[in-house]
Amino acid sequence: MKKKLDELTDEVLNELEASGYSKLTRDNFRYFWNGMIRYFESQNIYEFNTKIAMEYLEIRSSKTDLRKHSKNFIKRAIFILDHYNNYGEIPLRCYTPITKSNNPQYIEILNDYGKHLAEGEYSSRTIEGYLKNVVGFIQFLEENEYLCIDEWSAEIMFKYIETLSEFKKATIKHKTGSLRLFLRYLYLENIIKEDLSQYIGTIRGTYHQKLPSFWTKNEVNQLLAAIDQNNPNEKRDYAMILLVARLGLRSSDVKKLKFENLHWKENQIVIIQSKTGEPLTLPLLRDVGWAIIDYVQNARPKVDNQHVFLRHLPPYAELSERNHLYKTIEKYMIRAKLPISAKKRNGMHSLRHSLATTLMEENIALSNISDILGHTSVDSTSIYLNVDINRLRDCALDVNKLGVKQDGKL
């Protein structure tokens, strides 16, 4: 049974307080929600409904000249209620379609589509990416006054695609892919009568792979030595960085690591990779294991949460998927006096690249490196051949032995 609106807002306010929101922010939310509750009651509606909430916002906007900042804050208040009502949690970041559109029909469709994606096996980052691209399409429709979904046609799709010409090829591929998925959903749900996804072409082509950024062994050791292992926060960071630098785990898998994944008797870490969905088993190296034990026993917040690594400020929850830990690495780079270059990526993933490069230099077979990194294909691993200078040198042709003539012919 769904909660009544006043019960929902009270519960959300308590969660906001526990999450560290300021009293001023909570009071501003409470002020808006109280007015919204009165409007719902005047319509004999007692449960939360996004469409009715947006109607109330429009009525309030028509009576008062709200500034853009105030209007966005109110839309955010509506989104928090909607998200909590559906998922039982306060969103760590308030990106949502309803802050980008003023069309009630489009808002409802976008929210339903967001829920549809959430029911699938997409990560929150993937869902956010899809919604962001679809919102760009919706903004195009509103700017060109295509305000009813029944007006959508192949011609409108072509006009929208023309507006993408200024973007890079990879960006166009992401935007059109997101739109194709969205249009297909609308057709299968009988929201549109024609499958307009057929008019969204597929972007194909060869993409030039960038050489991966990597660290030398000495640089990795300097970085680790710069971490203060007497500091609770840094005990956590040290263990996380070791998992990437020594075992090559993706940062997303480190953040999702649970106690059940640590098989101490077998000295193994066993996970299902968040990116590929494939199982991965890695050795629990001695220094990595002791770093995890030190963190759990001496620094980890004493809360009931199955994730190994937690935030150290309320709420004591697992780390956000959107936190790529770049600033964490950068902090220790500065402390270790390691160079920071705009041309070189210095995030957690670069440590993963470094492990692959080191293994390559030690003549570990490419297939074994692929298994360690959890790649589904050796092709994904082969890019590290490009940074193995010694092996490239071995592949170089000896021009003298080829018998090249003065005219350049063999």
Q: How many CB atoms lie within 10 A of CB 389?
A: 9
Higher pLDDT, 71 or 255: 255
Which pLDDT does position 57 carry in this prediction?
86
The Cα-based distances of 379 to 272, 376, 392 in angstroms read: 21, 9, 17
Dihedral, CA of residue 335, residue 338, residue 343 and residue 349, to nearest 10: -70
DSSP 195: -
* pLDDT category of residue 409 using cuts at 50, 70 and 90: very low
pLDDT tens digit sequence for 343-365? 565 677 778 777 666 666 666 66
- Please provide residue 324's backbone torsions phi and psi, each rounded to the nearest 5 degrees: -85, 0
Task: Say which CATH architecture domain 100-208 belongs to.
Answer: Orthogonal Bundle (1.10)
In the prediction, which pLDDT does 391 show? 46
pLDDT above 70 coverage of the chain, percent: 75
Give the model's confidence band at 111: pLDDT under 50 very low, under 70 low, under 90 confident, else very high: confident
Cis upstream peptide for 315 (omega within 30°): yes
Q: What is the per-residue burial (b if ≥16 Cβ within 10 Å, else e) of 51-66?
A: ebbbebbeebeeeeee
Domain 100-208 shares a fold with domain 217-394:
no
Supply the DSSP symbol for 148: -
Give percent of the chain above pLDDT 90.
38
Tokens linked to 35:
């007015």
Lowest mean pLDDT among 46-60, 69-83, 218-232, 233-247: 69-83
Radius of gyration of the chain from its Cα atoms, rounded to whole angstroms: 26
DSSP string, 229-284: TTSHHHHHHHHHHHHHHHH---HHHHHT-BGGGEETTTTEEEEE-TTT--EEEEE-
Q: Averaged over 1-10, what is the pLDDT?
A: 85
Predicted confidence (pLDDT) at residue 311 exceeds the cutoff of 60: yes
pLDDT in tens, 120-154: 766 666 787 888 899 899 989 988 999 899 999 99
Mode of pairing for the β-strands spanning 262-263 and 279-283: unpaired
Give the neighbor-by-neighbor strand order of the sheet with 268-272: 262-263, 268-272, 279-283
Q: Confidence band (pLDDT; 50, 70, 90) for 45?
A: very high
Going by pLDDT thresholds of 50, 70 and 90, the confidence category of residue 404 is very low
Q: Where are the domains of the chain?
A: 1-94, 100-208, 217-394
Show the tokens assigned to 180: 């194709």
pLDDT given for residue 31 in this prediction: 92
Greatest mean pLDDT among 58-62, 232-236, 247-251, 373-377: 232-236
Residues 217-394, CATH architecture: Orthogonal Bundle (1.10)
**pLDDT category of residue 392 using cuts at 50, 70 and 90:** very low
Q: Please enumerate, as own/partner, the contacts of 79-82 that have beta carbons within 8 Å and a separation of 24 or more.
A: 80/12, 80/16, 80/29, 81/8, 81/9, 81/12, 81/33, 81/48, 81/53, 82/48, 82/50, 82/53, 82/111
Sign (positive or negative) of CA dihedral 6, 9, 13, 19: positive
- In the chain, the largest separation of any two C-alpha atoms, in whole Å, equals 94
Q: Which of 114-123, 294-303, 360-369 has the lowest mean pLDDT?
A: 360-369
DSSP 313-365: SSS--BPPTT---HHHHHHHHHHTT----TTS--SHHHHHHHHHHHHHHTT--
Report d(CA 351, CA 177) in Å as an integer. Answer: 31
Cα angle 288, 315, 130 (rounded to 5 degrees) comes to 85
Single-letter code of the amino acid located at 147: L
Spatial separation of the C-alpha atoms in residues 9 and 15, rounded to whole Å: 10
Q: Of 1.10.150, 1.10.1220, 3.40.50, 3.30.70, which CATH number belongs to 1-94? A: 1.10.150
pLDDT beyond 90 at 70? no
Tokens representing 229 are: 């292992």
Determine the average pLDDT of the residues in 272-280: 85
Nearest one of 301, 333, 307 to 320, comparing CA atoms? 307
Please, what is the Cα angle at 282 between 277 and 283, to 5 degrees?
165
Q: Give the pLDDT band (50/70/90) at residue 96.
A: very low
